[in-house]
Amino acid sequence: MRIDSIELEGFRNYSHASAEFIPGVNVIIGDNAEGKTNLLEALYILCAGRSFRAKSDKELIGFTGSEARIRAEGFAGDRERLTEIVFRRLGRRSMLSNGVKLKSASELSENMSAVLFCPEDLGLIREGASARRRLMDAALCQLRPRYASALNLFGRAYEQKTRILRDSAEEPGLLELLDEYDEQLARLSAELIHYRAVFARRLGPEAARIHSDFSGGEELSVEYKTVGTIEDPTLPASELFPRIMEHQLSHRTAERASRLCLTGAHKDDLIIKINGADARSFASQGQARTAALSLKLAEREIHFSAMGEYPILLLDDVLSELDPGRQSFILNRIGGGQVFITCCEDDGVIAERTGGRVLTVKNGTIGGGEQCIST
């Protein structure tokens, strides 16, 4: 799985730019605000169908333009891939894969997938539950296209129910709609919970193995936490549904009093422990970073097991946040697939150690392309 070349038009700060990549490590250097992360964002969209930082497609279009275009050539699933995405300020985006129109963004991930690690992910352990849900959601939206659809429907139903609860004090008649949305949320939650639980069951042992190597023997564990009435969240969604409805019914009075949704997949979390202690509360900064890196590398291995080839790995200005030991561990673990690493400065160490190619981004242009010999 690889992206061989990319062309950007009107995308973020790129009026027009193009670049070619190697199947191994591509090191993208440049000062801050020159466009390095914008380039990684375009690569991620090609794989995941969505941005990891924009809330809407309009944010991806340059200030003076009416549309933006990403065009890329690559290889995945034993065939060449030509992907083109057009974002419009007025109207919906259009997506083509080998000339065939795609109906949804999730179809992009059926061709390619990516694992992203950015500076914000270093706080994955210490942040609230939403950060760890994002980890699961980002992985599962690519691994299971049906999951992405269920997640979108869940988000809409959750917003509708929240509005009903919030506005019911002024409009009591809205409460008559609650039964309908309770059932919708329970059914969609059951589907999300099943997929998340299966993913977490695979993530835990893989992350523990990597973390042990990374830390010199520390034990890491990952436990999936969901609705209290569910004993085995890996059960089929049809069996989880009545348990969620039971929990929801028991919290109905509390929901109406607090005007909050108290039951559903939006409350899920991953409980991370290091040597038996809750990492969120007791891990040192170094331990928390090591655990976060282990989770991301484990995610990459799960993709490999599911697809038979490594996903594209995107490391956005992460190495500069790590000490030399952690940098070395990461660089020694990223072989076997295509990798993109952004950094502000590079004296050739990363490229030389990985046999990578160096590309320079400056003011929305992409230059360079020399490949180093691994040492």
Q: What is the pLDDT of residue 372?
A: 45
Q: What is the pLDDT of residue 105?
A: 82
Q: What is the pLDDT of residue 281?
A: 94
Which CATH number is associated with domain 114-310?
Answer: 1.20.1050.90
Q: What is the pLDDT of residue 119?
A: 87
Residues 228 and 276: beta-carbon distance below 8 Å = no
Q: What is the pLDDT of residue 374?
A: 41
**Is this model's pTM higher than 0.75 or not?**
yes
Q: What is the pLDDT of residues 143-153, one digit of tens each?
A: 988 899 999 99
Residues 357 and 22: beta-carbon distance below 8 Å = yes
Q: In what side-by-side order are the strands of the sheet with 269-274?
A: 220-225, 269-274, 277-278
Tokens representing 12?
């973020």
> DSSP letter at 335?
T
Check: CATH 3.40.50.300 for 1-112+313-375?
yes
Q: Distance (Å, rounded) from C-alpha 161 to C-alpha 182?
A: 8
Spell out, as residue ranges, where the chain has pLDDT lower than 50: 372-375
Burial of 141 (0-12, 13-18, 19+ CB in 10 A): buried
Residues of the chain with CATH 1.20.1050.90: 114-310
Residue 257: CB atoms within 10 A of its CB come to: 9
Residue that has been written with the tokens 């000062």 in this structure: 31
Residues 186 and 255: beta-carbon distance below 8 Å = no
Residues of the chain with CATH 3.40.50.300: 1-112+313-375
Q: Distance (Å, rounded) from C-alpha 105 to C-alpha 60?
A: 15
